[in-house]
Structure 1
Amino acid sequence: MIESIAAVFSAGTYALQVFTGQPLSTDYGMTVAIANTVRERAKPADTFIDSIGIATHLRYIDTSYGRFEDVVEPRLRELGIRHIRDGGNDPKMYAKMRRLGAQGIRSTLVMDPRDNITPQNVVDQVKQALPYVAGVEGPNEWDVNAERMSYKGKSFPEGLRNYQADMFRALKSDRATANIPVLAPSMAQPENGKKVGSLAAYSELGNMHSYSGGRVPGQDFDWRWLPLTKQFSGDRPIIVTETGYHNAIHDRVTTHKAVTEQVSAKYIPRTYLEFFNRGIKRTFIYELMDQRPAPDQENNFGIIRADGTPKPAFYAVRNLIRILNDQSGSSAPGSLSYYFSGNVKDLRHTLLQKRNGDFYLVMWLNTESTDAIKTQRVTVNLLTPTKAAATFLPNRSSSATATFSAPRRVTMDVPDAPIILKVVPK
Structure 2
Amino acid sequence: MKLSLAAARPPLAAFSLVAGLAASLGGSAAHADAVRAMPAQDFIDTLAVNTHVNYTDGAYVNVHNVADDLAWLGIRHVRDMMPTGTPPFDNYVYLARRGVKFNFLMRTNIDQAIDQAVALNTAVPGSVVSIEGFNEVDNFPVTYNGLKGAAAGLALQREIYSRVRNASALAGVPVYDLTGYDPKLVDTRASSADYSNTHFYPQNGEQPSYNANGDRWLPAALGSVKKFELPVVVTEFGYFSMPQSGWYMLGVDEPTQAKGVLNGYMDAAAAGVKRLFVYELLDQKPDPQNKNAEMHYGMFRNDNSPKRVAHSIRNLTTILNTTTPHRASAAARDTLTYTLSDMPVSANSFLLKKKDGRFVLALWNETLIWDRANGTPLESPPAPVKLDFGANARRVDVYDPMVSAEPLTTHRDQRQLTVNVPDHVILLEITPADRPGT
TM > 0.5 fold call: yes
RMSD of equivalent CA atoms: 2.5
CA distance in 2, matches of 1:78, 1:97: 18
| Counterparts in 2 of 1:184 and 1:287: CA distance versus 1, 3 Å | same
Q: Does 1:387 align with 2:380?
A: no
Q: Is contact 2:282-2:299 (8 Å) kept?
A: yes
DSSP 3-state at the match of 2:114: helix
Code of the residue aligned with 1:220 in structure 2: it is R
1:249 to 228, 243, 248: 243
Written as runs of structure 1 = structure 2, the 5 A alignment for 1:153-302 is: 153-187=146-180, 192-213=182-203, 214-218=205-209, 219-221=215-217, 224-230=220-226, 234-250=228-244, 255-294=248-287, 295=290, 296-302=292-298
Q: Is contact 1:79-1:318 (8 Å) kept?
A: yes
Q: Does 1:306 align with 2:302?
A: yes
Q: Is contact 1:46-1:326 (8 Å) kept?
A: no
Q: Is contact 1:122-1:167 (8 Å) kept?
A: no
- Alignment match, 2:118: 127
Q: TM-score, normalised by structure 2?
A: 0.83
Question: Deviation at 1:351?
Answer: 0.5
Q: Number of paired residues?
A: 395
Is the deviation greater in 268-277 or in 96-105? 96-105
Q: Is contact 1:18-1:408 (8 Å) kept?
A: no
- Alignment match, 2:144: 151
Q: Is contact 1:389-1:424 (8 Å) kept?
A: yes
| Counterparts in 2 of 1:384 and 1:100: CA distance versus 1, 3 Å | farther
| Counterparts in 2 of 1:384 and 1:175: CA distance versus 1, 3 Å | farther
CA distance in 2, matches of 1:176, 1:227: 34
CA distance in 2, matches of 1:241, 1:361: 26
- Alignment match, 2:96: 101
CA distance in 2, matches of 1:360, 1:93: 42
Code of the residue aligned with 2:310 in structure 1: it is F
CA distance in 1, matches of 2:219, 2:18: 37
Code of the residue aligned with 1:278 in structure 2: it is A
CA distance in 1, matches of 2:317, 2:391: 26
CA distance in 1, matches of 2:354, 2:383: 27
Code of the residue aligned with 2:66 in structure 1: it is V
- Alignment match, 1:65: 60
CA distance in 2, matches of 1:291, 1:10: 30
CA distance in 2, matches of 1:223, 1:68: 35
| Counterparts in 2 of 1:400 and 1:94: CA distance versus 1, 3 Å | farther
Question: Deviation at 1:223?
Answer: 6.0
CA distance in 2, matches of 1:386, 1:304: 38
CA distance in 1, matches of 2:383, 2:268: 23
- Alignment match, 2:33: 38
- Alignment match, 2:48: 53
2:15 to 8, 12, 16: 12
Question: Deviation at 1:193?
Answer: 2.8
CA distance in 2, matches of 1:9, 1:379: 26
CA distance in 1, matches of 2:356, 2:150: 49
- Alignment match, 1:411: 418
Structure 2: stretches of 5+ with no match in the other structure: 1-10, 210-214, 324-330, 371-376
CA distance in 2, matches of 1:167, 1:57: 22
Percentage identity across aligned positions? 28
